Structures are given as C-alpha cells and as structure tokens.
Amino acid sequence: MSNRSSRAKPVASVPEVVILRLPQYVRVLNQLQQKGTEVVSSQQLGNLLQVTPAQIRKDLSYFGRFGKQGRGYSVSHLLTELKQILGLDRRWNVALVGVGRLGRAIISYPGFAPEGFDIVAAFDSSPKIVGQVVGNLFIQPVEEMAETVRNKKVSIGIIAVPAAHAQEVMDMMVQAGIRAILNYAPTTPQTPPGVKVRNLDPVHALQSMTYYLIDGA
Amino acid sequence: MSNRSSRAKPVASVPEVVILRLPQYVRVLNQLQQKGTEVVSSQQLGNLLQVTPAQIRKDLSYFGRFGKQGRGYSVSHLLTELKQILGLDRRWNVALVGVGRLGRAIISYPGFAPEGFDIVAAFDSSPKIVGQVVGNLFIQPVEEMAETVRNKKVSIGIIAVPAAHAQEVMDMMVQAGIRAILNYAPTTPQTPPGVKVRNLDPVHALQSMTYYLIDGA
DNA sequence: GCTTGTGAAGACCTTCACAGCA
DNA sequence: TGCTGTGAAGGTCTTCACAAGC
C-alpha cells in the first residue's frame, strides 16, 4: 500500500517486456544525471527513448509512484529506485564456460565490471585449455562447475561453446543452481522453467532482418 | 490465392515476432534434414522449439499452405520455402564500422559466411587503423562508406564502435542507404522508420535478467 | 485416424483520456 | 497550468477448437 521504503514488490507479476525496457530507462537516466539534469518528464524520456510517455508512466506504475504531478521525475531518485528494482545496486558473480576465441574476448571485454558484473570463474572441457590463465582467471575443468558456483556464489552463467555443446552446458549450469544464462552459441537450448536465458546470436539477428530487405535490393 | 510458385507475398503485414521465430524454424529443419528426417508435424516441431503447435501452424499460415493434412510438413520443402521467404537462399554483403578489438573479432568470426553473410568492407575513423589489413579486408576511412556501399552492393551494416559514436555511425549508414543494422554498441540509437536494427548488447541482456534473480540469492 | 489451416476466443500489452494533485 | 497515475478502450499476438482433407 505504501511505497515509502521503495522496497515495494510488484503486486501482480510484471510483463517481461517491461523488464526489458527498464535497463534502457536506467541508461538514459544515467546520461541525464551526468549532464546535470535534475528533473525529467515522461514526455522528455519518451523522446529520448522513442517510446510513448504513457508507456513509461505505465511501466513505472508497476513498481510504485515515483513522480510528482505537474513536475515530473527526479532523475536521481528514479535512477536509484530503478537500479534497486532491477538489482543493479549490487554486484553479481558470473561464470563463463568455453574459453576459445570467443570466451577469451568475453573475459577481456571491459564493459562488464563497471556495470557490476564480475567474471569470477571460467571453465573449459579441453585439457589443453584447462590450467591456462586468461585475464586473472585460472581455467578450470567443467567438472568443477557445481562446486565453484557454490563456493564463489555465482548467479549468472555465460555460454561461449560451439552450438553442438550448448545444451549440455546449459544443463550443467542449471544443475549447478544457475538461473540466469547469457548464451552466445548460435542455438536456442531447451530451458527449464524458472531459468532465464538471453541469446546473443549474431547470425539469428541477421537472419531476422533480411526479410525486410527483400524488394529493396 | 495459389501458392504454387512459392513467391506468394503475405497479404497482410506479418507481425515481427513471427519473423523473429522463422530463423529458429529454419535452424531446426536444417538439423532434421541432416538427420535424414523427411516429414515433421507441427507437434514435433513444437516439442523441439518449445513452442505450441498452433503457433507454428499460424506462423506458417501467413505465408502459404506448406503442409499435408494427416501427415505434416515435408522437411526439405518447408526448409526451401522458409529460406526463400527470409531471403536466406542468397548471399548478403555486409559492411563493418569500427575495427578495434571487437571489430577484429567480428571479422574473424567464422560463423557468418556459411550462413550467407559476407563482410566485404570495413571502416574506421582512426588514421592508425585505416590502411591496415585485417582478415582479407583493407580498412578504409569512414568517409568512403557511401561510395563503397554503392559499389559493393552492401545491404547490411555492423556497428562495432564505442557507445559514444554509435549514433553517428548509424546516421552515416542510413545516409549511405543501409536499411538493416546489427549494433554491438551498448546503446540504443535512434532509428529512422524503414530501418531495422538488432542490438547485441551483453550488458543490457544481463541487466534484464538480474530482476528475476532477486529473492533467490 | 491423424494433422493441417483458420475463424473465433482469449490473453496480453499499449494507448487513450482524464481525475487528481502540485 | 502541467504532469502523473490509472481505469478503460483498443490493438496485437497466442491459443483454442474444429471443419476439411489426406
């Protein structure tokens, strides 16, 4: 009923599309804050995000009442609330499986840590790769996954193995208790309920655009 | 009315969610074909894809009637049709902008060419990088983009520059006539109508999963 | 008998439009 | 006056359920 503590849990379940938009709001609010903007209206946010103002207000209304009539939203307050809602006010430990060319690129990608995501373990199935050190990480055999996930409090997995092995890696991760998975393999593994997967497959992305190019070319 | 020539254009506009699913159907059908499966029902496809059979039949019905009552779908026939619908029965020329660490990884990624996507040009704004040869590609200055896109019949662009420059690269690509863009930068550029963009931002993907992890941890 | 293709129903999400409040 | 928060309306996508046909 009250939302004063900003711990308010959504009463009804929030549509996933809404959750997918919130990180974008966070990103734009961050930019506004850096520019020194203190207050923003749903109208202005909508312009920046190419979204209708009504949608922004509706999205936010799932979680509480963050604005002031006649004025708009306090940038810093809304940012704080959204980060807390999304769990972006803390750090998350991540485990990577597959330390080939792609896996190495992911380990050295400098964009994760500043956003609160720390790759704290990396696994491979090849004896040639296990034992190597990449970045600061000692590459472990996949057999150690469950134990390491427990010890290092890993909550998120990244799959960077060839498509043919993605499903078994998924299963191992789920078995180890991981419930959020970022999948770089060009395949869509079967996912048990309660586990979230995001696929980052560039080929699939391309294949879903060419349809719109036919005729034009 | 007839769909014999399989050139049938959809009568009403097809929902984008449908277009996003079709490449998955193609992928699974490819696997079935390699295993020697000749006929498949919407039920079986649904099991493999974790989608309801009704959805598969409805999706396909936007484009024609590809099945046989009582039997199901011919794998090879459906595959041919879907590839043609999506434009995956031909090759597409792609231009990359941003030849840093990420751009180099994209150029050397071996997954594009077998699926019909050829990176035929690469651009960078840094004089230190322009003139280098990466893979087989001579890195050109961004100023040459419009001309090269025309000469080499490029239809698709890949953005692999830092977030701060993604918007201007987008604008240049659109200016050069590109209408499909794969964006690796961690930002969502403003997109003019008629241009399709797919974002492959790993941080955004992670930020949209942590919500579901709260409580559990 | 089995499976497609599809209108109709239902679920879900977006947009409207306005009461309420600063 | 200006902008939020939100029921209600509208639109879109998914699922149902069954006639048609192999």
- B73 Cβ contacts chain C strand, under 7 Å: yes
Cα gap B144→B154, rounded to integer Å: 13
Q: Are strands B156-159 and B180-183 parallel, antiparallel or unpaired?
A: parallel
- B140 Cβ contacts chain C strand, under 7 Å: no
- A54 closest-nt by C1' vs CA: C15
Nearest CA in chain A to B205: A198
Angle, in degrees to the nearest 10, between helices A75-86 and A16-35: 140
Cα gap A190→A83, rounded to integer Å: 30
Contact A94, A122 (CB under 8 A): no
Nearest CA in chain A to B20: A208
Q: Which residues of B98-109 are buried (b: 16+ CB within 10 A; e: fewer)?
A: bbeebbbbbbeb
Q: Can you give A13-71 as a three-state secondary structure string?
A: CCCHHHHHHHHHHHHHHHHHHHHCCCEECHHHHHHHHCCCHHHHHHHHHCCCCCEECCC
Tens-level pLDDT at each residue, chain A (217 residues): 333 333 444 556 999 999 999 999 999 999 999 999 999 999 999 999 999 999 999 999 999 999 999 999 999 999 999 999 999 999 999 999 999 999 999 999 999 999 999 999 999 999 999 999 999 999 999 999 999 999 999 999 999 999 999 999 999 999 999 999 999 999 999 999 999 999 999 999 999 999 999 984 4
Nearest CA in chain A to B180: A209
- Burial class for A133, CB neighbours closer than 10 Å (0-12, 13-18, 19+): exposed
Q: Which of residues 39-98 of A touch strand D (CB under 7 A)?
A: 41-43, 53-54, 57-58, 60-61, 65-73
Residue in A20, A186, A206 nearest the CB of B117: A206
Beta-ladder partners of B123: B97, B140
Interface contact A85-B202, CB threshold 8 A = no
Spatial distance from the CA of A112 to the C1' of D17 (Å): 49
Interface contact A211-B19, CB threshold 8 A = yes
* B26-82 per-position pLDDT tens digit: 999 999 999 999 999 999 999 999 999 999 999 999 999 999 999 999 999 999 999
What pLDDT was estimated at residue A5?
35
B180 interfaces chain A, CB cutoff of 8 Å: yes
